[in-house]
Amino acid sequence: MRAPELAGRLKRLLFPARCVVCGKVTPDGGDFCSICDLSGEYISADCCELCGEEKKNCACKGRKNHFEKLCAPFYYRGSVKEMVRNFKFRGKQWLREPLSRYMAERAEEKLNVQEIDVVTCVPFTKKQLRRRGYNQSGLLAEGVARDLGLPFDGELLVKLYDINAQHSMAKANRAGNVMGIFHVPCPEKVRGRTVLLCDDIKTTGATLDECSKMLILNGAYKVYGLCLAVAGRNEAGNGRQENWQD
């Protein structure tokens, strides 16, 4: 047996593939066990470029945002919710690898990756970062940048202060809730550049739009939005909706 093959078998033995939903070892080395299947939550490639939902479910009516396009691989429901809880609340940071890969694959399908200059994320305040220990959106964005072969800069945006959690607000009030809370500390880093802005869950899109607005106002040429999951119109209005920016 050749050394590389032996090393590969040893790696699989010591670090077996685990289901990204429940964490159980997958015998075939895939991302999901036989019980956890995300096919029902996967967003087809035929989706609206403005809200990220499948066109048959699109309810944005062509409403323009400051970001050019938005896409995501999953709807936020079913097994995806459990997957997010493992990543968000249970400290399973290893999930960033498969999750960011799904995001990168969707970006390659829906966006012109060749024109993107830099990847960034929706930021946390210092207080949020101390409380949670890591910014999940930042971890995902780093993985996406690596998979796409693009530079990552997690400091293009700064969150100035904490606000009421977006999921606790009425849908109509979420845009006002995030207004003015983001800042671009070094405009020269974004001036004339196309930015890929990554976040975890898109509900109404208010957070992504406010971040995109600040990037554009500070000279960014174009902003694309990329999320792990999109809350459908039914989930987006649910007061129990979870959001990593809570």
CA atoms within 13 Å, Cβ hemisphere of 16: 12
pLDDT at 91 (0 to 100): 82
The percent of residues in the chain predicted with pLDDT above 90, rounded, is 47
The first and second tokens of residue 144, run together, are 């996406």
Largest Cα–Cα separation, the chain: 63
Sequence-distant (≥ 6) Cβ neighbours of residue 144 within 8 angstroms? 100, 103, 104, 107, 119, 150, 196, 198, 226
pLDDT of 238 over the 90 cut: no
Per the rule left: phi > 0, alpha: psi between -120 and 50, beta: everything else, 116 is beta
Question: What's residue 80's pLDDT?
Answer: 87
E strand residue ranges, 42-146: 69-71, 74-75, 118-121
Please report the pLDDT score of residue 4 as a whole number.
53
DSSP 111: S
For residue range 182-234, what is the model confidence (pLDDT) as tens digits?
999 999 999 999 999 999 999 889 999 999 999 999 999 999 999 999 997 65
Give the residue with greater pLDDT, 107 vs 180: 107
**DSSP 8-state assignment for residue 66:** S
Q: 78: which 2 tokens?
A: 């079913």
CATH number of 38-236: 3.40.50
- CA separation for the pair 2, 25 (Å, rounded): 26
- Letter for the amino acid at 184? V
Res 240 pLDDT > 80: no
Residue 211, both tokens: 């971040």
Predicted local distance difference test score (pLDDT) of residue 163: 57
The CA angle 179-139-205, to the nearest 5 degrees, is 30
pLDDT in tens, 124-158: 999 988 888 999 999 999 999 999 999 999 999 99
Q: For 177-190, b where at least 16 C-beta lie within 10 A, e where not — what string?
A: bbeebbebeeeebb
Which region among 22-26, 96-100, 147-151, 164-168 has the lowest average model confidence (pLDDT)?
164-168
Tokens 């096919």 found at: 39
| Residue 166 binned pLDDT confidence (cut-offs 50, 70, 90) | very low
| Dist CA 29 CA 6 (whole Å) | 16
- Give backbone dihedrals phi and psi of 200, rounded to 5 degrees, phi first: -85, -75
Q: Taking the domains of the chain in order of start, what are their residue ranges?
A: 1-36, 38-236
Q: Poorest-confidence range of 71-85, 133-147, 153-167?
A: 153-167
